[in-house]
Structure 1
Amino acid sequence: MGSDIYDPRFVKGVFDRCSDRYIAFSLICSFGFTERWRAQCVAAMPAPEGEGARGYDLMAGTGEVWPHLLKRFNDLGSITAVDISSGMHRRAMERLHAHRSHRIEFIEDDVLASDLPSESADFVISTFGMKTFNPGQHAQLVALIARVLKPGGVVSMIEASDPKGWWLRPLYLLHLKVVLPLIERIFLRGAQDFAMIGTYSTNFGSAIQIAAMLRDHGLEVEFSKYFFGCATGVAGRKIGPIGKTSA
């Protein structure tokens, strides 16, 4: 492949083209696990402090985590969704969340290039967006999260991962690398954009390196595996300057 698959322009093109079919393809081809994992990501997030919490959904995609967030934390003040793909955001607002639009703002931008204010977020969440970054970009992402969270702010992220050590891993990789592209070619007549999801996921590995980076930035986080490591996540809280969360 001649293109840099982690170049923001490449990523935007992939997800703009995927956007109209992304929700159905993701749900069906993951056998419903992506929806379950989004709910588990929200469940793993510590409760933001105070009422009217405001925060960011990074690499927000179609916003499928928003109903889970607003159900668990019904007093949230607002969610600011940041995503590079205008197609994914359009799909989110048209298909899922038009009636919640007064509580959801949107920034169309490369997350790593966004000028988000320091200590502006009570929470940060991200579901299935980390895989579109390479290790150097992960370091930038973690630094961004540590910067925008208020002391006491919370974070939870989840990503499809490579379940190394699981005895059914070969079948899982076959599903990602062979079955999904075949479905796309036969039924969707796509440009193999959905096949990139499998490539990104296996390249990503797991969120354990993200957990380590967050700890290096002073956050207290826990790493979790879901369904034998087919997804991994990290969740925790930013600690204040004297070792206590802010009031």
Structure 2
Amino acid sequence: MASQDIYDPDFVRDVFDRCSDRYIAFSNACSFGFTQIWRRQCVEMLDLPPEARHGYDLMAGTGEVWPHLLSHSPQVESIVAVDISAGMHRRAMDRLHAMRAHKIEFREDDVLASSLPDESADFVVSTFGLKTFNPDQHRRLAELTARVLKPGGRFAYIEASDPKGWPLRPLYRLHLDQVLPMVERVLLRGAHDFAMIGQYSANFGDAREFSGMLEDAGLNSEFRKFFFGCASGVCGSKPASSKATSQSDYEATTP
């Protein structure tokens, strides 16, 4: 493992292809349902206007944000789901979203290598994909977000994070670093794949630095924390004019 680049796109694809059959159940159970709460909160901070019709779900995984997005913003007509793992998308369509297939277009691709058209999206949303990128990849993702959004378009990202400074952080880290790998070994007989979630999250930290990268790319960006920092996110918009207006960080501790 030490000799492998865990952020290499091929490595990430293989991990999530192997995880795909059990990912939904494992994610919900081991987060005690918080992943679904955080997906809903991500859609709420996306805060789409009535005219928003078309957008991208980047690192779309099993598409669990789609029900929240389409319920909150029923005017949305199409979502292009971009993910490097075809296995995750098959699971999404087989398990959850066959009835929404007419609104979903899937692109099996490395997001950072995708030729998504300039100013083609009213919104960009992403849940729990940031941790699989290193800082250089985060900067490229920020630039891609700015490039594909239409003027006035909105974005929201959310990610499991390391709640530094929280008194219960040691228990949180114990859960990620010890409990999840044990559950995988005993119940799932996995190949260390789900245990990678803890490693990715520890390396990621939180979304504050990514928020700065989005501002550097010309976007208005707000940084937010959820449940004492166990998740963090960014949201904002592309200015209608060419000059971005920087916004101060906004931190909300929301259960």
Identical columns (%) = 67
Identify the residue that residue 180 of structure 1 maps to in structure 2: 180
Q: Runs of 5+ in structure 2 lacking a partner?
A: 246-255
Identify the residue that residue 251 of structure 2 maps to in structure 1: none
1:241 shift after superposition: 2.5
Specify the SS of the correspondent of 1:97.
Answer: helix
Identify the residue that residue 41 of structure 2 maps to in structure 1: 40
Identify the residue that residue 77 of structure 1 maps to in structure 2: 77
Identify the residue that residue 9 of structure 2 maps to in structure 1: 8
- Whole-angstrom distance in 1 between the partners of 2:118 and 2:209: 23
2:76 corresponds to 1:68: no
Specify the SS of the correspondent of 1:20.
Answer: coil
Identify the residue that residue 132 of structure 1 maps to in structure 2: 132
Question: Residues 221 and 106 from structure 1, CA distance in 2 versus in 1: closer, same or farther, beyond 3 angstroms?
Answer: same
- Whole-angstrom distance in 2 between the partners of 1:219 and 1:161: 22
- Whole-angstrom distance in 1 between the partners of 2:195 and 2:49: 36
Identify the residue that residue 27 of structure 2 maps to in structure 1: 26
User: What TM-score, normalized to structure 1?
Assistant: 0.96
Q: For this pair of structures, how many residues does the alignment match?
A: 244
1:233-244 aligned within 5 A? 233-243=233-243
1:240 shift after superposition: 2.2
1:101-140 aligned within 5 A? 101-140=101-140
Specify the SS of the correspondent of 2:154.
Answer: strand
Identify the residue that residue 230 of structure 1 maps to in structure 2: 230
1:242 shift after superposition: 5.0
Identify the residue that residue 18 of structure 2 maps to in structure 1: 17
Name the amino acid aligned to 1:16: D
- Whole-angstrom distance in 1 between the partners of 2:45 and 2:200: 24
Question: Residues 186 and 208 from structure 1, CA distance in 2 versus in 1: closer, same or farther, beyond 3 angstroms?
Answer: same
Higher relative contact order (CA 8 A, sep 6+): 1
Q: Runs of 5+ in structure 1 lacking a partner?
A: none
Identify the residue that residue 213 of structure 2 maps to in structure 1: 213
- Whole-angstrom distance in 1 between the partners of 2:90 and 2:96: 10
- Whole-angstrom distance in 2 between the partners of 1:222 and 1:110: 26
Task: Kindly report structure 1 stretches of 4+ aligned residues shifted beyond 4 Å.
Answer: 242-245
1:226 shift after superposition: 0.4
- Whole-angstrom distance in 1 between the partners of 2:10 and 2:69: 29
2:166 corresponds to 1:157: no
User: What TM-score, normalized to structure 2?
Assistant: 0.93
- Whole-angstrom distance in 1 between the partners of 2:187 and 2:89: 24
CA RMSD of aligned residues (A): 1.3
